């Protein structure tokens, strides 16, 4: 028997990076899978990879119509939905507030919050009754940035803090039928997270950072000395999405390879001892 036998799970933002790795893992745990992704090229790649083993849907979590269409397709194919794993997100390029022209702040916050926060709210709302009927789970994606500065700029870090608060509120409102939790990752190998169009950074991706340099620094500075693949986050999401989780709601699990568990003194020593490359 597998963890997600008899579970229908929807992954939003499953076209690359974290969501794709988690979707692959959920399949190995026996889930019947639907994946929603906005980027048509990624939708095509998903259809080629998953074939009949997943329902691949193109849609934007900012669009109520797209979410309702996804709901109809899921009900038509599976007749029900047990849980949602929501992973979509964009970054803000970590541009300091002093460097952002004041007239771009509206557009920046609208863009980042509409995907990173409102997209999660709309998704929860559109699928609420289905998950309630299944006594399922809602698993959102926060970030270490919800707990510490410098994982992004003001828009990204505050959007991830908002996800953390959203988990608290939804868990309160939706219990006892629905358990609501989040995972807060730190580094993710193979992320393609993009920057905001509002700052002209929509073409820049985390994967543009030289992979070897990023991996070296991450592994030098983290206690677990390992940059996780997207798939390695899968078991956390799988458990939280499953009906086997009868004990946790309202929690954001920090999955940071130990990054935050270090005092300033040892961090300073570590940075000083980092070899030049």
Ligand X SMILES: NC(=O)c1ccc[n+]([C@@H]2O[C@H](COP(=O)([O-])OP(=O)(O)OC[C@H]3O[C@@H](n4cnc5c(N)ncnc54)[C@H](O)[C@@H]3O)[C@@H](O)[C@H]2O)c1
- Closest contact distance (angstroms) between CB of 42 and ligand X is 5
Shortest Å distance, C-beta 140 to ligand X: 9
| Of 61 and 126, CB closest to ligand X | 61
Q: How far is the CB of 59 from ligand X (least distance, A)?
A: 7
* Pick 3 or 11: Cβ nearer ligand X: 11
> Could you confirm whether 233 is annotated as catalytic?
no
Distance from C-alpha of 83 to C-alpha of 201, rounded to nearest angstrom: 33
Give the DSSP letter of residue 194. B
Structure tokens at 181: 């939790």
| Positions in the binding site for ligand X (CB under 6 A) | 12-13, 15-19, 37-39, 42, 60-62, 87-90, 115, 119, 141, 143, 185-188, 191-194, 206
Least separation in angstroms between residue 219's CB and ligand X is: 14
Write the CB contacts of 94 (distance below 8 Å, at least 6 apart in sequence): 150, 151, 152, 153, 156
Classify residue 266 by burial, with Cβ atoms within 10 Å: 0-12, 13-18, 19+.
Answer: exposed
- Minimum distance of ligand X from residue 126's CB (angstroms): 13
DSSP E strand stretches across the chain: 8-12, 32-37, 54-58, 83-86, 137-141, 179-185, 251-255
Residue nearer to ligand X on the CB measure, 135 or 190: 190
How many CA atoms, within 13 angstroms, populate the side-chain half-sphere of residue 102? 0
Residues whose CB is less than 8 angstroms from the CB of residue 218 and which lie 6 or more positions away in sequence, other chains included: 186, 187, 227, 257
Cβ proximity to ligand X, 94 vs 168, nearer residue: 94
Nearer to ligand X by Cβ, of 32 and 58: the residue is: 58
Dihedral in degrees, nearest 10, Cα atoms 160, 161, 162, 166? 100
Active-site entry in 120, 156, 233, 237: 156
Instruction: Give CA torsion, residues 179, 121, 252, 12, to 10 deg.
Output: 90
Indicate the residue whose CB is closest to ligand X. 17
Question: Which residue numbers are catalytic?
Answer: 156
């Amino acid at each position: 028997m597998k963890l997600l036998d008899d579970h229908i799970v929807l992954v939003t933002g499953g076209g690359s990076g974290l969501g794709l790795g988690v979707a692959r893992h959920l399949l190995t745990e026996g889930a019947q899978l639907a994946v929603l992704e906005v980027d048509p090229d990624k939708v095509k790649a998903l259809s080629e990879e998953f074939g009949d083993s997943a329902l691949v849907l193109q849609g934007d979590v900012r669009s109520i119509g797209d979410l309702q269409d996804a709901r109809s397709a899921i009900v038509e194919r599976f007749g029900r939905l047990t849980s949602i794993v929501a992973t979509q997100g964009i970054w803000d390029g970590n541009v300091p507030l002093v460097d952002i022209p004041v007239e771009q702040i509206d557009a920046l916050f609208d863009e980042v919050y509409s995907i990173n926060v409102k997209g999660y709210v709309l998704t929860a709302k559109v699928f609420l009754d289905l998950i309630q009927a299944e006594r399922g789970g809602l698993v959102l994606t926060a970030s270490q940035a919800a707990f510490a500065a410098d994982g992004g700029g003001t828009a990204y870090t505050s959007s991830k803090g908002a996800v953390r608060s959203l988990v608290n509120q939804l868990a309160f409102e939706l219990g006892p039928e629905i358990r609501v939790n989040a995972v807060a990752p730190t580094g993710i190998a193979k992320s393609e997270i993009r920057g905001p169009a509002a700052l002209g950074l929509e073409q820049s991706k985390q994967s543009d950072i030289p992979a070897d340099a990023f991996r070296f620094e991450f592994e030098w500075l983290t206690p677990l000395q390992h940059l996780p693949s997207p798939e390695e986050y899968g078991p956390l999401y799988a458990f939280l999405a499953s009906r086997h989780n009868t004990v946790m709601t309202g929690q954001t699990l920090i999955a940071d390879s130990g990054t935050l568990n270090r005092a300033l003194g040892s961090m300073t020593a570590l940075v000083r001892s980092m070899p030049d490359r």
